[in-house]
């Protein structure tokens, strides 16, 4: 596997072998970090992080990953404190960041499809950390890595993705990442206005068996993994539509207790009202572990892209 110098724009950019290679490497780095704390693979290398939309996990796990690999991180800081506030374009901003010579750039930005443009502009490899509602490929890596660890396999799994499949970028990237494996079935569970975007189903083609449902109770017992997502309030053009759909699905311990078999429960986080704290103590609740897995899988990805 060589990902050296590679941009990561879409979850479809990887091959199955590359994905599995990253999972194995993440396991190795986890052990090495547990034993030795900070490693020295990326000594002398610099990662730039540019987040033009809010982030906790993605920004911090990339930062911790780079620092634990022995490298350094320069963060762009809040947009309001940069010349973006004076009207500088995102393109020029990126030209500047790239011009200072980072070894890689992690970018989150609000315009769908912009990650591909950024990859064209920048010399340094660009890692898409979310481009609007379009994609979030490194989230999909850690999501599938979590399934691989929890279930011991990815082939043949049945995953229910519930929530905001229309404005969410994690459901699309997760679908693309799962399409690298064999015999996967995805249930898209959402009220009609929030159902999965057609382009996602088109792009995964017949590599995944796709089903749709509007109610979780109809499918829950079939699932190996339940992947809950938040309504992307900030992307709703009409705040009234948000209010109307709010609460249309909610997972809590009482709901889950009605079923004989409860799947592994995941969520990219942040959660708001759709995944209740009463679920946290169930043995199937894996979302905090999932977030932590982001550190190792992103460390593996950085190590490969930097070629160190």
Q: How many residues bind ligand NCD (CB under 6 A)?
A: 11
Both structure tokens of 193: 């206005």
Report if residue 172 touches ligand NCD, rule: CB under 6 A. Answer: no
Closest CA to 198 of 166, 243, 150, 224: 166
Task: Give the strand pairing for 264-266 and 158-162.
Answer: unpaired
Q: Toward ligand NCD, which CB reaches closer, 63 or 170?
A: 170
Applying the rule CB under 6 A, the residues between 28 and 57 that interact with ligand NCD are: 57
Q: Of 45 and 188, which has the nearer Cβ to ligand NCD?
A: 188
> With binding defined as CB under 6 A, does residue 132 bind ligand NCD?
no
Give the per-residue contact string, 59-98, with ligand NCD (x = CB under 6 A; - = no): ----------------------------------------
- Of 172, 237, 221, 229, nearest to 200 (Cα)? 172
Query: Which x/- pattern, by CB under 6 A, does the window 252-291 give for ligand NCD?
Result: ----------------xx----------------------
| Spatial contact of 105 and 50, defined as CB atoms under 8 Å apart | yes
Nearest approach in angstroms of CB 36 to ligand NCD is 27
CB of 254 to ligand NCD, least distance (A): 24
- Sign of the CA dihedral running 244, 246, 249, 250: negative
Which CA distances in Å does 167 have to 34, 67, 144, 176, 295?
Answer: 37, 32, 20, 16, 25
Q: Interface with ligand NCD includes 146 (CB under 6 A)?
A: no
Is residue 9 at the binding interface for ligand NCD, with CB under 6 A as the rule? no
Smallest Cα–Cα separation from 217: which of 252, 259, 175?
A: 259
Which of 58, 63, 172, 175 touches ligand NCD (CB under 6 A)?
58
For ligand NCD, which residue has the nearest CB? 268
Confirm if 193 and 216 have CB atoms less than 8 A apart. no
Are the C-beta atoms of residues 136 and 102 closer than 8 Å to each other? Answer: no
Using the rule CB under 6 A, is 306 a contact of ligand NCD? Answer: no
Give the integer Cα–Cα distance in Å for 103 and 124: 6
In the complex, least distance from residue 132 CB atom to ligand NCD, rounded to whole angstroms: 10
Strand-by-strand arrangement of the 209-213 sheet: 209-213, 185-189, 158-162, 225-228, 264-266
Give the integer Cα–Cα distance in Å for 61 and 198. 31
Q: How far apart are CA 198 and CA 100, in angstroms?
A: 40
With CB under 6 A as the contact rule, the residue among 68, 166, 169, 286 that binds ligand NCD is: 169
Ranges within 226-245 binding ligand NCD (CB under 6 A): 229-230
Nearer to ligand NCD, 139 or 175 (CB): 139
Omega of the bond prior to 270 within 30 degrees of 0, cis? yes
Binding-site member from 130, 132, 137, 171 for ligand NCD (CB under 6 A): 130
The binding site for ligand NCD (CB under 6 A) comprises 57-58, 130, 136, 139, 169-170, 229-230, 268-269
């Amino acid at each position: 596997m060589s990902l050296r110098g590679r941009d990561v724009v879409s979850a479809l950019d990887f091959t199955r072998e590359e994905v599995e290679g990253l999972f194995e490497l993440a396991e190795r780095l986890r052990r090495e970090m547990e034993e030795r704390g900070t490693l020295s693979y990326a000594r002398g290398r610099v990662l730039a992080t540019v987040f033009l939309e809010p982030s906790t996990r993605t920004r911090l796990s990339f930062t911790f990953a780079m620092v634990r690999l022995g490298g350094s991180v320069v963060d762009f800081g809040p947009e309001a404190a940069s010349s973006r506030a004076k009207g500088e374009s995102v393109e020029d901003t990126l030209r500047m960041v790239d011009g200072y010579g980072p070894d890689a750039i992690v970018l989150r930005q609000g315009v769908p499809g912009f990650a591909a443009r950024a990859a064209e502009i920048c010399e340094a490899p660009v890692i898409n950390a979310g481009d609007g509602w379009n994609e979030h490929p490194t989230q999909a890596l850690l999501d599938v890595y979590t399934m691989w660890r929890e279930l011991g396999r990815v082939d043949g799994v049945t995953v229910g993705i519930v929530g905001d499949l229309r404005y969410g970028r994690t459901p699309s990237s997760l679908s693309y990442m799962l399409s690298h494996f064999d015999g996967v079935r995805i249930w898209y569970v959402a009220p009609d206005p929030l159902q999965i975007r057609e382009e996602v189903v088109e792009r995964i083609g017949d590599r995944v068996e796709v089903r749709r449902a509007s109610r979780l109770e109809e499918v829950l017992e079939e699932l190996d993994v339940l992947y809950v997502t938040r309504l992307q309030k900030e992307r709703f053009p009409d705040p009234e539509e948000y209010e109307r759909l709010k609460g249309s699905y909610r997972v809590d311990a009482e709901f889950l207790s009605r079923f004989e078999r409860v799947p592994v429960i995941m969520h990219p986080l942040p959660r708001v009202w759709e995944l209740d704290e009463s679920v946290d103590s169930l043995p199937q609740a894996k979302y905090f572990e999932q977030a932590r897995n982001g550190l190792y899988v992103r460390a593996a990805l950085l190590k490969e892209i930097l070629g160190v």
